[in-house]
Each structure stands twice: as structure tokens, then as C-alpha cells.
Structure 1
Amino acid sequence: MSGKSFAVIGLGQFGMTLAKELANADYDVLAIDDKDENIQEIADTVTYAVRADVREPGILKSLGVQNVDVAIIAVAENMEASITATMQVKDLGVPLVLAKAMNSLHGRILEKIGADQVIYPERSMGIRVARNFTASGFEDVFELSTEFSMAEFRIPGEWVGKSLSEIRLREQHHINLVAVKHGDSVNVNLNPAEKLEAGCILVAVGKNEDLNKFRKPL
């Protein structure tokens, strides 16, 4: 793993999905929302989940958001909370701040107050679907940030019958295998000595530049 840690602020459908995917990929995730039911839903999945109103001065600092590598502001429906949270995390010096916008005007405001990247989920989903069709070799792609993604791809023929320790995926290809799928079965407790079977789907996390090498046959 890259060792990156994330704060996801706002657990609507977009924030909830993103936080769960990051946590399932074994990243440290701090999830923040002002609704108890959302915190209860995700508490057992992420590293730390807390109920808080991000409009409260100093609240994000008290929760340790300054210690994460990436902050994702997903409270777009409440523009006041969106802007306040973005300003707070920028003031705390978080290296990468991504903020969800409802529209272009909202996005321009977020850029002006320092968001490193503005996210338009509906637009991004359209791009993701298009990429999935054009990315031969990938069964699915989920962008974690501008630099890292999670991708599913069919096992290359030359890997069939070999173990993870023999393939040395991390050492030779700089990506981390997080799961192996056989039909509807998903194995996340990987045994380095277990032989990989023909037809299985590998789920890996890594830098986009490294994962892109798997879009074409090895």
C-alpha cells in the first residue's frame, strides 16, 4: 500500500461510496458527517468515523484532519459547509484537497478558495464509463485520486498457475493486489503461496501510470 490516508467529509451517496471503497482498499479513512445514521452505517468499515458539523470553527483541526494526505470535501449540497470545510482543510495544510461541486459556479468558488481539484461526480461517472469501454484489459476502474486508482483485470496467461510470491507484483510492477475474484466469490485474505487460476479477476491498487501497463497484454 501507498500508506496514504484520507479524510472524507460528507457522507451522502458519493461520500459514503468513496469512503467505503477507500477503506476496502485498506487505506486509513477518517469519515465525518453531521448525521448519526451515516456515521453508524460506516463506523465498522473505516478507520475512524465521527459526527461533527464542519461549519463549527476549529472542528476539523480538533479531529486531526491536518494529519491526512488527502481530504475529500463531499458536502456539495450545503454550499456553506462545502466552502467552510474546504477553507479549513486548506488552512490546516492538507497536501491534496478535492472538493465536490454541484455546478460550475460552485466549482469556481471552490477553486478560488484553494481546492486542488474540483469533482463533478456525474461528469466523472460518464468519463469512468467511457474509460471502462476503451481500457482494454480492465474489467473496471475506480479512481481514488488524480494519482491512484483501483482496477480489475483478467489474469494474464503467463501468470496462470503461478503464486503471488512468484509473480512479485509489488516489486516488479509497483502495484498491490488486494483481492482475487472467481465468479461471485471474492478472496481478500490472499495467501502468497496459493496458485492463481485461469479466468480469475485480479483487483489491484496503484499509481495510474503503473496500472496503465495492464491495459495491454504483458
Structure 2
Amino acid sequence: MKKDYAVIGLGRFGASIVRELIELEMDVLAVDIDENRVNEYADIATKSAIGDTTDERVLKNLGLGNFDNVIVAIGDNIQSSILTTLLLKDMGVKHVSVKAQNNYHARVLDKIGADMVIHPERDMGKRIAHKLASTSVLDYLELSDEHSIVEIKAQENLADQSLLDLDIRAEYGVSVIAIKRDEDIIVSPDPTVNIQRDDILIVIGDDQDLTRFEKSLID
């Protein structure tokens, strides 16, 4: 089903969300206080508007209370981000996602009712660090403050052994929930299945346990 989205703040983060949502054939209202940024996305977004979203009248005039999904991607102005979020929730917006600048900002956003708090710089930093630390790690997805999913490419030290032989769950406390093998995906793999070199293991677990497992794979 096609959904309506509004993105407030057209910096690099907000702009990338606008482009991706448009690629997914969603209707997107792009909003920023900077006229130049709005003009840049006038032909990309479904609609675009210039406005100070810390003003409740502006939010109402834009009809943002009728949107199910609003993404607040305001840059460095934490006060504007917080006030905009508070006004949107007071207006009854069902789902408000907000970019957080730091942990303090995130805690405030949680308290005022933000439905999703996003840490793009922190999360990207984690993904890059894990990929740089081991040639086996292909991707790293944070699920919560303490749990993540990691894609790990099987090297020689895992090849020709079964999950039962490796005893990964007992040894590290993490679970292999799927194996990608060429074009196939083996979901909830049988523990007796042998791992082949270049298989991609989808592993879920506590961050500390995942880190221990990753360290064991570092060449």
C-alpha cells in the first residue's frame, strides 16, 4: 500500500531518505527552513515546502497532523528538533522518527514520545568499524542498544565444519539464523549441515558475544 511521508530537514540524511522513499514509489512531502534546499528537491519530492517547523501554525498549514509517518531529520539545531517532535506528537502524528545528535538528545526524544530515534553517525561508525576490523564481516545491523545481526563470510577456519562441530551457540552465545549460499538462503539451518567456504552466515546475538565471535575470526 502506498503511504504518505513527510521529511523535515533536507541535509544529507534527510535528503537521502527523500530520495529512497521516492524510489520506493511513496508520496513524500519535503520540508526545510532553507529555501535553496527546498528548491533543490522541488522536482524530486512529491511536494516540497519552506517552513519553520517549530511554529505550530506552520505544521498545521502543511497538514502534517494528517501524516502517518513524519521523519524529523533536522541537522545541528537540537532545540528545533525537540520542539518539532513535541508539536508533531501533540498533533497526533502516529509515527515520528527523529535523528538524534547525541545520547542526551536521544534521551529527551524518548521522553517526549518519539516513536523511533535514529543515530545515523553512530550506527554507521559501528558498521564501518566492524567491517574494517575483520575481512570476514560483511555487514553489521544494530537491533537495539545491546543486540545486533552480523553477516560473516566463512573463511578457511569455518569451512568443512558443521554448526554442531563449531558449537558456536555454546561457545559464544550467538545464533546462526540463516546461511546464504550462492543464490540460496538456508533459514534455521540444520546444525549438521557443513559450512562451505564463502558461505555467508547471518548471526544474531548480544553485542559483547558477537564481538568475541568476530575476534575469533580475525586473521
Q: Given the two structures, how large is their TM-score scaled by the length of structure 1?
A: 0.58
2:48 paired with 1:43: no
Who is 2:53 aligned against?
54
Who is 2:83 aligned against?
84
Who is 1:75 aligned against?
74
Who is 2:113 aligned against?
114
2:102 paired with 1:133: no
Aligned AA for 2:80?
A
Q: CA RMSD in A?
A: 2.5
CA distance in 1, matches of 2:60, 2:16: 24
2:6 paired with 1:17: no
Q: Given the two structures, how large is their TM-score scaled by the length of structure 2?
A: 0.58
CA distance in 2, matches of 1:102, 1:214: 35
Give the superposition deviation at 1:81. 1.1
Aligned residue pairs total 142
CA distance in 2, matches of 1:63, 1:213: 45
CA distance in 2, matches of 1:33, 1:106: 20
Contact 1:4 1:28 in 2 (8 A): yes
Residues 3-49 of structure 1, C-alpha deviations (whole Å, 9 max, x = no match) = 22111001111111111111122111111100111011111011110
CA distance in 2, matches of 1:76, 1:41: 17
CA distance in 2, matches of 1:52, 1:104: 27
Aligned AA for 1:91?
D
CA distance in 1, matches of 2:85, 2:75: 11
CA distance in 2, matches of 1:69, 1:56: 20
Structure 2 vs 1, CA of residues 66 and 57 (structure 1 numbering), >3 Å: closer, same or farther?
closer
Paired residue secondary structure (2:56): coil
Q: Which runs of 5+ in 2 are unaligned?
A: 132-136, 142-176, 186-219
Larger gyration radius, structure 1 or structure 2 = 2
1:89-108 alignment runs, 5 A limit? 89-108=88-107
Contact 1:20 1:42 in 2 (8 A): no
How many percent identity over aligned positions?
Answer: 40
Give the superposition deviation at 1:112. 0.8
Paired residue secondary structure (1:58): helix
Contact 2:127 2:139 in 1 (8 A): no
Paired residue secondary structure (2:52): coil
